[in-house]
Amino acid sequence: MGGLDGLDKESFDPEYFMMLLLCGNVMGIIVDLKDLVHGRYPQIICYPRFEYEELRRRIVELRSLNVEMLEFSGRSEVAGLPILGKGCVSLVLLAHLKCGRAALKVRRVDSGRESMNHEARMLHLANSVDVGPKIIDFTENFLLMQYINGFPLREWLEKSDPSADEVRMLLREILEKCWRLDAIGLDHGELSRASKHIIVDFSNRAQIIDFESSSTNRRVSNVTSICQYLFLRGEIADIIGKMNIKPGRKRLLAALKAYKRNPSRMMLEEIFRVCEVTV
Ligand SMILES: Nc1ncnc2c1ncn2[C@@H]1O[C@H](COP(=O)(O)OP(=O)(O)O)[C@@H](O)[C@H]1O
Ligand SMILES: [Mg+2]
């Protein structure tokens, strides 16, 4: 149990331990690829309908990605096993490679997508402007990328007790990353559900994830969508508002309108000023 090293009895705090466990900081159940045919693992690799042939093909793909082991840990649960996350098109697991751990996105067998190609292309493009977890490799059914160890935005805001300045810095980073996506014509597509799609790591850096619904053929609306979400309506806007970061509605709408007409760096700076994230 290497992950438990350093935890002595006196300093053992069950709540802290639980948090580490949920975040994947304590090692979960580690399974060699050859053992994925046993127990409940096939139900996860071929979620939600397991077929032997499909499982066999997928294990071959995992080998081609140089995945050595899978680790079952994280805050979601499928088939009674902990995993990093569960979405409409995929499950996300922790994978062990020779060089360390990575997040492995596993295409659900019932997903509308034929392969991971589109998402891999979109993530690769986002990476070109330093946005999104770094892509490592992909196959038809898997996407291997940098593991972002942290909390979803809402939990970070509620549980990590950040100072107003830390929140401002984070909001600025999110806006900055959305601007970079706008600038290359890549529309994320799911920033109106940003809580699930922004992870804040333990250095308080924000990362945008899930480029599955992204497109280069739509009009980009990353900055405008995220501003609505962060400042104008919904639970996150309420939480941020309570921290006294509450841009005037009229001024922000006017700044967003001007940005939409002319999505330039200058207009973005005006949004920074209105949102008071110029720190
Ligand atoms: N690179 C990553 N590092 C850590 N956790 C991740 C990573 N990518 C996804 N996750 C977790 O998995 C969940 C589902 O991933 P997501 O990409 O949104 O899948 P879907 O496309 O099926 O919606 C996320 O909400 C997040 O909790
Ligand atoms: Mg998602």
List, for residues 55-92, the tens digit of each pLDDT value: 999 999 999 999 999 999 999 999 999 999 999 999 99
Q: Are residues 97 and 209 in the same domain?
A: no
Residue with the nearest Cα to atom 16 of ligand 1?
210
Q: How many domains does the chain have?
A: 2
Is the bond preceding 48 in cis, omega lying within 30 degrees of 0?
yes
Q: Are residues 164 and 118 in the same domain?
A: no
Asked if residue 279 is part of any domain, the answer here is no
In the reported structure, the alpha carbon of residue 103 is separated from the centroid of ligand 1 by a whole-number distance in angstroms of 8
- Using CB atoms within 10 Å of the CB of residue 5, give its burial: 0 to 12 exposed, 13 to 18 middle, 19+ buried: exposed
With a 6 Å cutoff on the Cβ, whether 164 touches ligand 1 is no
Lowest mean pLDDT among 15-19, 100-104, 138-142: 15-19
Which tokens in the block code for residue 182?
């706008």
Task: Quick: pLDDT tens for 105-135.
Answer: 999 999 999 999 999 999 999 999 999 999 9
Residue with the nearest Cα to atom 18 of ligand 1?
210
pLDDT, residue 194, reads 85
Q: Are residues 185 and 102 in the same domain?
A: no
With a 6 Å cutoff on the Cβ, whether 101 touches ligand 1 is no
pLDDT, residue 195, reads 83
Residue ending a domain, choose from 124, 147, 170: 147
Which tokens in the block code for residue 25?
């900081």
- The total of other beta-carbon atoms located within 10 Å of residue 165's CB is 9
Spatial CA neighbour of 83 closest among 22, 33, 34: 22
Q: Measured between alpha carbons, how far is 279 from 277 in angstroms, rounded to an integer?
A: 5
Q: Measured between alpha carbons, how far is 214 from 115 in angstroms, rounded to an integer?
A: 15
pLDDT, residue 1, reads 33
Spatial CA neighbour of 260 closest among 210, 213, 222: 222
227 φ/ψ sector (left φ>0, alpha ψ -120 to 50, else beta): alpha
Given a cut of 90, whether residue 26 has pLDDT beyond it is no
Spatial CA neighbour of 32 closest among 3, 5, 72: 72
Q: Are residues 162 and 258 in the same domain?
A: yes
Q: What is the mean pLDDT of the chain?
A: 91
Given a cut of 70, whether residue 17 has pLDDT beyond it is no
Residue range of the domain that includes 90: 2-147
Asked if residue 138 is part of any domain, the answer here is yes
pLDDT, residue 97, reads 97
Q: Are residues 155 and 83 in the same domain?
A: no
With a 6 Å cutoff on the Cβ, whether 103 touches ligand 1 is yes
Q: Are residues 12 and 142 in the same domain?
A: yes
Q: Are residues 40 and 123 in the same domain?
A: yes
In the reported structure, the alpha carbon of residue 7 is separated from the centroid of ligand 1 by a whole-number distance in angstroms of 29
pLDDT exceeding 70 applies to what percent of the chain? 90
CA max distance for the chain: 60
Q: For residue 224, what is the domain's CATH number?
A: 1.10.510
Residue ending a domain, choose from 132, 147, 162: 147
Query: Averaged over 16-26, what is the pLDDT?
Result: 56
Q: Are residues 138 and 230 in the same domain?
A: no
Residue ending a domain, choose from 147, 169, 200: 147
Q: Are residues 128 and 258 in the same domain?
A: no
Q: Measured between alpha carbons, how far is 8 from 213 in angstroms, rounded to an integer?
A: 45
Q: Give the type of residue at 116.
A: M
Asked if residue 155 is part of any domain, the answer here is yes
Q: Best mutation site among 23, 92, 137, 142 for ligand 1, i.e. most ligand atoms within 8 A of its Cβ?
A: 92
Quick one: pLDDT band at residue 6, thresholds 50, 70, 90? very low
The one-character DSSP state at 172 is H
Is the bond preceding 162 in cis, omega lying within 30 degrees of 0?
no
Given a cut of 70, whether residue 100 has pLDDT beyond it is yes
Q: Measured between alpha carbons, how far is 269 from 262 in angstroms, rounded to an integer?
A: 12
Q: For residue 127, what is the domain's CATH number?
A: 3.30.200.20
Q: Best mutation site among 209, 212, 213, 214 for ligand 1, i.e. most ligand atoms within 8 A of its Cβ?
A: 209
Q: How far is CA 100 from the centre of its chain?
A: 19
Given a cut of 70, whether residue 11 has pLDDT beyond it is no
Q: Measured between alpha carbons, how far is 203 from 31 in angstroms, rounded to an integer?
A: 29
Task: Quick: pLDDT tens for 190-240.
Answer: 998 788 899 999 999 999 999 999 999 999 999 999 999 999 999 999 999
With a 6 Å cutoff on the Cβ, whether 90 touches ligand 1 is yes
Q: Are residues 195 and 65 in the same domain?
A: no
Residue with the nearest Cα to atom 25 of ligand 1?
196
Task: Quick: pLDDT tens for 27-49.
Answer: 789 999 999 999 999 999 999 99
Which tokens in the block code for residue 259?
């940005």
In the reported structure, the alpha carbon of residue 7 is separated from the centroid of ligand 2 by a whole-number distance in angstroms of 34
